[in-house]
Amino acid sequence: MDEILEILESNARISLDDLSKLTGRSAKFLEQKIKEYEKKGIIVKYKTVIDKNKIKNSGAVVALIEVKVTPQKDVGFDLVAERIYKFEEVKSCYLVSGTYDLLLIVEGKDIHSVANFVSEKLAPLNSVRGTVTHFMLKKYKEDGVILTKKEKNQRLAIAY
């Protein structure tokens, strides 16, 4: 991957001056290159990674849902995936190899809203042959960022 993209992927907030120092290219060149990447759809979005475990009452329940689907003639999985990823509950949708076809990351306000999404919106779709839902209990690492820091053991040592 391009050096500019690698740096932006790890730090999207880097200034053009700092990026220029790291790459040895002019700020003007970098600005044009970044605009080109955005126009071509190579850079799609700038994102902040938030550790929702540290926000009280964040309320979001996250589930990983494996979906088996029947591909449609002449279009394969694309139309089925498009229909599924347009649901607002679906945050990510991936075509994968293995025992199921699509992997979804779904968010809801509670377990019941995720369950309702699966039973009322996802499972009834004609192309969906089956689902398996896994609820996320804790995130340790997301988008290359470690979210949990090791806490120093504060228990007192017991001596005999």
* 84 in any annotated domain: yes
State the Cα–Cα distance between residues 101 and 63, nearest whole angstrom. 16
* 142 in any annotated domain: no
Assess whether 72 and 124 both reside in one domain: yes
State the Cα–Cα distance between residues 12 and 3, nearest whole angstrom. 13
Would you state the pLDDT for residue 106? Answer: 97
The residues facing 95 across adjacent strands are 102
Q: Which residues of the chain have pLDDT under 50?
A: none
* 27 in any annotated domain: yes
Residue 151 CB-density burial (10 A; 0-12 exposed, 13-18 middle, 19+ buried): exposed
Would you state the pLDDT for residue 58? Answer: 66
Assess whether 124 and 71 both reside in one domain: yes
Would you state the pLDDT for residue 57? Answer: 67
The predicted model scores a pTM of: 0.74
Q: How many domains is the chain built from?
A: 2
* 151 in any annotated domain: no
Q: CATH number of the domain that 88 lies in?
A: 3.30.70.920
- Domain with 26 in it: 3-40
Provide CB contacts within 8 A for 4, sequence distance 6+. Answer: 19, 23, 25, 30, 33, 34, 37
